[in-house]
Amino acid sequence: GESVGLHLPTLSVQEGDNSIINCAYSNSASDYFIWYKQESGKGPQFIIDIRSNMDKRQGQRVTVLLNKTVKHLSLQIAATQPGDSAVYFCAENVNYGGSQGNLIFGKGTKLSVKP
Amino acid sequence: NAGVTQTPKFQVLKTGQSMTLQCAQDMNHNSMYWYRQDPGMGLRLIYYSASEGTTDKGEVPNGYNVSRLNKREFSLRLESAAPSQTSVYFCASSVEENQPQHFGDGTRLSIL
């Protein structure tokens, strides 16, 4: 089974509200996490990343929080806009065959923004 | 800015046919990856190439082969397509391992 999962498969928010998308991971050795946004018919688009030596990282309108104690990752989107409607994936970095750059993706959360 | 380019965008195959999916990146990235995405699922890693001249298996390599043709290009081959390989295939690249991966827009492959 997948080591990365999401608590909510769908999330509906009002335009202008803040959105919070949650993710649980099970591999305590993971040291790098990424959030991706995927629009219909497109490939995943990088949003923000965080390494395990940090608890919080901010970008433009987005914040990622990492709680290593409970193995939980969240993405906060401020002032959600219709253009934020998409599927959001979290991913954790795991090792395959000694390499260190391979991502395990969660199943995704669909964010719908109501005007 | 092209980024990661995948060809073809769509393909329909019959069971047993062979097919090569092409991927090229113009960002001078060292690492390249192939994933598949099935309905309602996240992406699963098929193969990756940490640097030019190396390739390694990911989570779901069975039924696939890859070639890192040069630094820019990384192809995925299905030697004998099976219906279970119906999926959307994504190629990605990153500067190095453990860095953000940048994705193409996918190849939608149906096997009848």
Say whether pLDDT at A13 is over 50: yes
Under 8 Å CB-to-CB from A39, ≥6 apart: which residues? A45, A86, A87
When scoring A2, A96, A110 by the number of chain B Cβ atoms within 10 A, the one with the most, hence best to mutate, is A96
Identify the pLDDT of residue A29: 83
Across the interface, of B41, B58, B102, the residue whose CB is closest to A107 is: B41
Contacts B101 to A, Cβ<8 Å? 34, 46, 103
Say whether pLDDT at A100 is over 90: no
Identify the pLDDT of residue A2: 36
Q: Counting beta carbons within 10 angstroms of the beta carbon of residue A82, is it exposed (0 to 12), middle (13 to 18) or buried (19 or more)? A: exposed
* Cα angle A57, A61, A65; round to 5: 30
In this complex, do A102 and B90 lie within 8 Å of one another by their Cβ atoms? no
Q: What is the DSSP string of B27-92?
A: S--SEEEEEEE-TT--EEEEEEESSTT--EE-S--TTEEEEE-SSSBEEEEESS--GGG-EEEEEE
Say whether pLDDT at B84 is over 60: yes
- The closest alpha carbon to B86, from B3, B19, B1, B31, belongs to B19
In this complex, do B101 and A4 lie within 8 Å of one another by their Cβ atoms? no
Are residues A101 and B97 in contact, defined by beta-carbon separation less than 8 angstroms?
A: yes
Say whether pLDDT at A72 is over 80: yes
Interface residues of A toward B, Cβ cutoff 8 Å, are: 2, 4, 32, 34, 36, 41-46, 49, 89, 91, 93, 96-97, 99-108
Average pLDDT over residues B14-35: 96
Say whether pLDDT at A8 is over 60: no
Q: How far A114 CA sits from the closest chain B CA (Å)?
A: 22
* Cα angle A92, A29, A32; round to 5: 35
Average pLDDT over residues B58-85: 95
Identify the pLDDT of residue A31: 87
